[in-house]
Amino acid sequence: MDSFRTELENPVVQRDIIDLEKKIRLYREGKIHDDKFRSLRLARGIYGQRQPGVQMIRIKLPFGKVTFKQLLRIADISDEYASSNLHLTTRQDIQIHYVSLDRTPELWAKLEQDDVTIREACGNTVRNVTASPTAGIDPDEPFDVSPYAQATFEYFLRNPICQEMGRKFKIAFSSSERDTAFTFIHDLGFIPKVRIENGVETRGFKVLLGGGLGAQPYIAHVVYEFLHEDELIPYIETALRVFDRHGERNNRNKARFKFLIQKIGLEEVLRLIDEERTANKSKLYKVNRDTIAVPEIPEPVAGAVPEITDPLAFERWLTTNVFEQKQAGFYGVYVKVTTGDISTEIARKFVDVIKELVADEIRITQNQGLLLKFVRRESLVSLYAGLASLGLADAGFDSVADVTTCPGTDTCNLGISNSTELSRVLENVIYEEYEDLIYNSDIKIKISGCMNSCGQHGLAHIGFHGSSLKANGKVVPAVQVLLGGGVVGDGAGRAAEKIIKVPSKRATIVLRIVLNDYYDNSIPDELYNDYYDRQGKDYFYQLLKPVADSTTLTDTDYVDWGHEEIFQTAIGVGECAGVMIDLVATLLLETEEKLEWAQESFRNDAYADSIYHAYSVFVSAAKALLLDKGVNSSTQTGIIKDFDEQFQDKRFITGTTFSDLVLQINKNEPTQEFASAYLEAATNFINKVKADRETLISV
């Protein structure tokens, strides 16, 4: 266990891992409350599984970029600590499962040796920054967004403004107006734009704010048609500051940015964002465009070309999985990965097959596949043969036959039904009965194990999410059918509409009915959503109503896909975000830790960070005192307001109000002078709070 203390070169990372080891020990000793510890480990990518006593580890890969060496390292980690499987996610992460909590510091240290982190992959933080997998090679892109996604990841990792927000925050960059990163379902989404000003190219972004899926989908608002590239990071910072201060913290179902906009209005949110600019660490931030270097291009491989035993399968693969890059003479190749799962054995063979034929930069895609880059035309046959030998050359990437799914009841606490097995079953229906649809990239099928849309059912043309029905005194595994979602383009999108709930075992019947009706009744060349709009929601309800008839249930309808036993709902506590902890003593201990961070940041001349840590000291200490009085405010602004109302005796603040003192944070530039005064005020405040608490306890 001590090995990581010497092997890690980055002292910040080393301290993080040592701190995790310490907190696990304190948790085991009963000195950290379970709810507080849950929040702490989630922010370090450690997520409780459905199965008791083991953890899922989410590995954070900005915009899905992973090298051969990193992929092999993750495979080794999965063999040593997990279940010898790699799960590719819709947010371009890799997850491994069945990990012992006590081994996570050691696991993290070994990942960091190849520059891979789990920090802030879960919890109330800025989650993995996603981007179009084709960024850098997309023929339609105005410029490569990869450096901007990388800069965003780096700037906000461990940034004090986004460590303990009310909920998670998601950011995406699309490479072009095709919006393949789905910017419209993100808290912040960016689409690259170029202007010519005085004969000079100027880069910027279309900005979308406040989107999200989940049980209540919202399409993001366009707030800028063109935001200069140097204003990108500062704008994200101001938005995060507003979300942290004004966002809901008690009711996690109302704690996303979209609900803050719904609550106080877009105009007010934009005003608050503008007001925060004064406090920003950076007023402008120039992103290094060369951060993401072009990977080394493979040399031509000499030798015999393998014989293709199934020319038709090869031609289908070329048509559906291969495209010409913007770099002349090179091709991008998609790899379809069923349910996003790759065994470590296959992962190693995969790297061995591709390493001489593609560039050393794999991208994980939003539909749980892989993208290989800089493949020479003459290497396509060899690459196909190698992939086919591993079962990774299925045609129809991102087509109707490429079903997106979350893990569902395999491992997730919130899973209601088996989404992974249903995904495999539906793919088989397409390949066996609708083979021509492997060429159709208009219709997307997406499945989630519950309503939370980790499988992105909320933006599917044909979507399913796990649910249940009661019939004949029993519980029936069911799916909610949704239709009509999808990408419109340039930041516009559609949320799928709920149509009807049917037994899970009848999802295949639903799929056949919907596809057959589309075949029979669509106009030539009519896109699916145009057909859906023309027919109308009620048309599909009536079409599918017989499938939902509970009077026709058979014994098999009571058994979920992939199971033999009668279905039972067994939903645990979801961990998509941390849970508030209301223990006063724990809050005060946290506050002292934040004060230490503020002091350390000040000593390191990181004045903006010191100010924000000091702000957190004020808020946390005030919350502790309010909880002692039975007052539980749901936002930081509420805490500040309630403190002034509850503590008017000036025991803790003299000469001003608590609100005026604390909210100096967004009225002043982050100078050394202000940081010093603000830190001193926070120190005095927590000292008075601690003294008052000690007096109260001793009475």
DSSP string, 7-28: H---HHHHHHHHHHHHHHHHHH
26 pLDDT above the threshold of 90: no
User: Which residue, among 87, 152, 99, 105, has the nearest Cα to 3 in the 3D structure?
Assistant: 105
Question: Do 255 and 249 touch, CB atoms closer than 8 A?
Answer: yes
Distance CA 279, CA 241 (A): 9
Q: Which amino acid is at 119?
A: R
What pLDDT is attached to residue 583? 60
**Range in 46-50, 253-257, 692-696 with the lowest mean pLDDT:** 692-696
Q: Let me know: does 4 contact 113? Beta carbons within 8 Å.
A: no
Tokens of 509: 């019947």
- Bridge partners for 130 per DSSP: 172
Tokens representing 257 are 């940015």
Least confident of 14-18, 237-241, 533-537, 666-670: 14-18
Q: Read out DSSP for 551-595?
A: GG--GGGGS-TT--SPP--------SS------HHHHHHHHHHHH
> What local confidence, expressed as pLDDT, does residue 569 receive?
61
Per-residue model confidence (pLDDT) at position 411: 80
Determine contact, residues 235/229, Cβ cutoff 8 Å. no
Write out the two tokens for 392: 């990774």
- The pLDDT confidence band at residue 695, using thresholds 50, 70 and 90, is confident
Instruction: Among 560-569, 638-647, 674-683, name the one with the lowest average pLDDT.
Output: 560-569
- What's the average model confidence in pLDDT over 391-412? 92
Tell me the whole-structure pTM to 2 decimals: 0.94
The pLDDT value given to residue 542: 98
State yes or no: pLDDT of 697 exceeds 80. no
Average pLDDT, the chain: 92
Q: What is the mean pLDDT of residues 211-227?
A: 95
- Contacts of 191 by beta carbon, 8 Å cutoff, 6+ apart: 173, 174, 176, 177, 179, 183, 205, 206, 208, 490, 491
- Let me know the angle formed at the C-alpha of 597 by 596 and 599, rounded to the nearest 5 degrees: 65
Q: 3-class DSSP state for residue 57?
A: strand
579 neighbors 252 (Cβ within 8 angstroms): yes
Give the rounded percent of residues in the chain with a pLDDT score beyond 90. 77
Query: Is the pLDDT at 9 greater than 80, yes or no?
Result: no
Say if CB 503 and CB 514 are below 8 A apart: no
For residues 140-159, average pLDDT: 97
pLDDT in tens, 347-357: 999 999 999 99
Band (570; pLDDT cuts 50, 70, 90): low
Least confident of 78-92, 575-589, 649-663: 575-589
Q: Is the pLDDT of residue 6 over 50?
A: no
pLDDT tens-digit profile of 479-500? 999 999 999 999 999 999 999 9
pLDDT of residue 582: 38
| Predicted local distance difference test score (pLDDT) of residue 578 | 37
Q: pLDDT tens digits for 43-89?
A: 889 998 888 889 999 999 999 999 999 999 999 999 999 999 999 99
In this prediction, residue 654 carries a pLDDT of 85
Structure confidence at residue 1 (pLDDT): 45
Give pLDDT, residue 325: 97
Mean pLDDT of 521-529: 95
pLDDT tens digits for 498-518? 999 999 999 999 999 999 999
**What pLDDT shows up at residue 7?**
56
Token pair of 281 as six digits: 């660490």
Tokens of 117: 């982190």
Domains of the chain: 3-112 (3.90.480.20), 130-279 (3.30.413.10), 311-389 (3.90.480.10), 404-558 (3.30.413.10), 584-698 (1.20.120.330)
277-332 per-position pLDDT tens digit: 999 999 999 999 999 988 988 888 887 789 899 999 999 999 999 999 999 999 99
pLDDT level of residue 568 (50, 70, 90 thresholds): low
Query: What's residue 684's pLDDT?
Result: 95
